[in-house]
Amino acid sequence: MTFNKLGLIEPLIRAVKESGYSETTPIQSAAIPAVLEGKDLMASAQTGTGKTAAFTLPLLQMIAEQPSDSRHPRVLVITPTRELAAQILASVETYGRYLDVTSTVVFGGVNINPQMKKLRQGVDILVATPGRLLDLHNQKAVNLSEVTTLVLDEADRMLDMGFIHDIKRIQSYLRRDKQTLLFSATFSNDIRKLAKEMLINPIEIDVAPKNSTAENVSQQVFTVDKKQKPKLLSYLITSKSWAQVLVFTRTKHGANKLVKELFKDGIPAVAIHGNKSQSNRTKALADFKNGKVSILVATDIAARGIDILQLPQVVNFDLPHVPEDYIHRIGRTGRAGLTGQAVSLVCADEIKQLQDIERLIGKHIEREEAEGFEPQHDVPASRAVSGSSQRAVSGSSRRSASGSSQRSGNSSSQRFDKGSSQSASRTRSDSRSTRNGSSRSRNASTGYRGQTMPGVARRGIAIPGGPVGPDRDGNLKSEEGNQVQARSRNERGRSTNRSPGTASRQGANGSDQSQVERNGNTRTSTSSGTTTSSGTAGTRSGNSRTGKPELVGSSNPYATRRSGNR
């Protein structure tokens, strides 16, 4: 369908044609007429399908056809990130170049005074991030009482980022008879709940299958050890002559570290994430779009709003923890009907994320190994996904360069399943300890009840039948509600049946030991160290910590005695 058939005015059609578009996308064909009719809208579409133009074009026409002398905004667009807000403003200015419509954008990370000055001059369309908008409203720099249309773009991401309370506060400042447009990548339960609270009899538009990826984007996985990822990325960029690549990392620190690694290999790259100043983020994005920098390393949040029409490659240096973010990531390429390529570098530690992604998109992603970067730790086979006739993808993939030695994934799958079974067996056995009477021991590498739990020491963890964490009093409790450990020393003194406890602490041969006797039952705690301090003996007697500590016969000033009644 052409834009001429949607009832748009001539200045808008002219601006659209000059931007290089002639045919509408499905979301535009469905949303533009509904917005022009003034109805509430709840729309979902794949990333890169023209959602911004779907609400920008009709809102520009509505403002142009209803001129006003008011300086207060009549259209308010809320977005989660600065980059997306700037992108929407650019679309408004591009499509509204032949209209007498004013617009501006406000977001954090920059000086607020120029934004306040612009608002005082008057605007018709205001694009904002929630936090900065509330700051301006609290300072009475913006009046929202005349907003007739509210747009919530990337609503799912705003909920993920915790903006729900800010959105509701903004909603309370607006008139009740306004038009509300909600755009989201998915229709989750939280999105539907929000729509029920804010929209009135909305038209629901869903032009893409749930959790689908664009068919014009090819997907590929390279299995590699984690420590080899930077070198493999450098190899792929140089050997395949990639000229423009958007690389996703999971953390800000990881983005900075990867940029340094690429620079060592002679590949210019820049990072964009939340810790960067807005000026640095804007410059990095502009240099990437203009071709001055070939590699842009970004986190998921910062990448929202990156709209590059002919971006050929997207690389997942780290797989996202949330599988839906994978769809948003690869949606940065293959936009406006063009083809694109999405490459993921996957190590053995990321098998769960890979399986979650494949389960979400309903298909397995082809695996390869780059010659010279074969992983020492095989990535286990993928499990079967619904809607796929393929039972499992080989855990060790085919070689990309030589095409030789395709390994079977059956043994890998069996080893993976066996390991899972053993892990589950260990978890069940962890919960079978008696809780009263007999002695209990723990050391620095041992969890509760003497079970070995690396990285978990002196804390309760959630295991079947076992402790699930401290309650309000700091006491660990099991799933049956039985108390299994007291953290508060005051609780230990409440029993009237026990004999006064004694405690001693000695340092010898690099070890410390403490022993507490209660009701004939003994609990021993041992931790090992590498250094020894002689003469660091201190004793505590009685049942109280009241009274001042006094030094006893020791050359170590940290040896103390405390006495009194507990």
Q: What is the pLDDT of residues 508-556, one digit of tens each?
A: 344 444 443 344 444 444 444 444 344 444 444 444 444 444 444 444 4
Q: Does residue 519 or residue 104 have the better pLDDT?
A: 104
Is the same domain home to 160 and 262?
no
Of the three residues 206, 228, 254, the one that is the final residue of a domain is 206
Q: Does residue 112 or residue 456 have the better pLDDT?
A: 112
Is the same domain home to 184 and 274?
no
**What is the structure's pLDDT at 302?**
61
State mean pLDDT over 122-146.
Answer: 96
Is the same domain home to 245 and 382?
yes
State mean pLDDT over 376-382.
Answer: 85
The token duo for 521 is: 């039952």
Band of pLDDT at residue 180, cut at 50, 70 and 90: very high
Averaged pLDDT of the chain: 74
Is the same domain home to 133 and 250?
no
Of the three residues 378, 412, 446, the one that is the final residue of a domain is 412
Does residue 407 lie within any of the structural domains? yes
Question: pLDDT tens for residues 391-407?
Answer: 445 444 444 443 433 43
Q: Does residue 551 or residue 111 have the better pLDDT?
A: 111
Q: Are 47 and 307 spatial neighbours (Cβ–Cβ below 8 Å)?
A: no
Does residue 287 lie within any of the structural domains? yes
For residue 501, pLDDT over 50 is answered with no
Task: Return the ∠ at Cα 395 (arms to 393 and 400), rounded to 5°.
Answer: 85
Query: Residues near 91 by Cβ (< 8 Å), separated by ≥ 6?
Result: 52, 53, 56
Is the same domain home to 402 and 274?
yes
Residue labelled with tokens 């007429």 = 33
Does residue 476 lie within any of the structural domains? yes
CATH number at residue 28: 3.40.50.300
Burial of residue 517, with CB atoms counted within 10 A of its CB: 0-12 exposed, 13-18 middle, 19 or more buried: middle
The token duo for 542 is: 């009685």
CB atoms within 10 A of CB 392: 18
Q: What's the longest Cα–Cα distance across the chain?
A: 96
**What is the structure's pLDDT at 169?**
95
For residue 29, pLDDT over 60 is answered with yes
Does residue 439 lie within any of the structural domains? no
Is the same domain home to 383 and 405?
yes
Question: Over the range 475-493, which residues count as b (16 or more CB within 10 Å of their CB) and which as e?
Answer: bbbbeeeeebbeeeeeeee
Is the same domain home to 94 and 125?
yes
Does residue 418 lie within any of the structural domains? no
Q: How many folded domains does the chain comprise?
A: 4
CB atoms within 10 A of CB 460: 20
Q: Are 247 and 236 spatial neighbours (Cβ–Cβ below 8 Å)?
A: no
Q: Closest by alpha carbon to 350, among 327, 390, 377?
A: 377
The domain of 355 spans: 217-412
Q: Closest by alpha carbon to 467, among 435, 437, 445, 444?
A: 435
Is the same domain home to 52 and 156?
yes
For residue 503, pLDDT over 50 is answered with no
Sign, Cα dihedral of 269, 272, 275, 280: positive
Does residue 443 lie within any of the structural domains? no
Does residue 557 lie within any of the structural domains? yes
The token duo for 81 is: 């990130």
pTM: 0.56
Backbone φ and ψ for 560, nearest 5 degrees, come out as: -135, 160
Is the same domain home to 94 and 222?
no
Q: Are 524 and 513 spatial neighbours (Cβ–Cβ below 8 Å)?
A: yes
CA atoms within 13 A on the CB side of 35: 34
Q: What is the CA radius of gyration of the chain?
A: 31
Is the same domain home to 147 and 238?
no
Question: pLDDT tens for residues 233-270?
Answer: 999 999 999 989 999 999 999 999 999 999 999 999 99
DSSP helix/strand/coil, 522: strand
State mean pLDDT over 198-213.
Answer: 79
Q: Are 296 and 245 spatial neighbours (Cβ–Cβ below 8 Å)?
A: yes
Do you know the residue count of the chain? 566
Of the three residues 156, 180, 206, the one that is the final residue of a domain is 206
Backbone φ and ψ for 289, nearest 5 degrees, come out as: -65, -35
**DSSP per-residue codes, 430-453:** HT----SSS-EEE-TTB-GGG-B-
Amino acid, single-letter form, for residue 185 = A
Is the same domain home to 337 and 389?
yes
Q: Where are the alpha helices (DSSP H) in 265-378?
A: 278-290, 300-303, 323-330, 351-361
**What is the structure's pLDDT at 172?**
94
Is the same domain home to 202 and 107?
yes
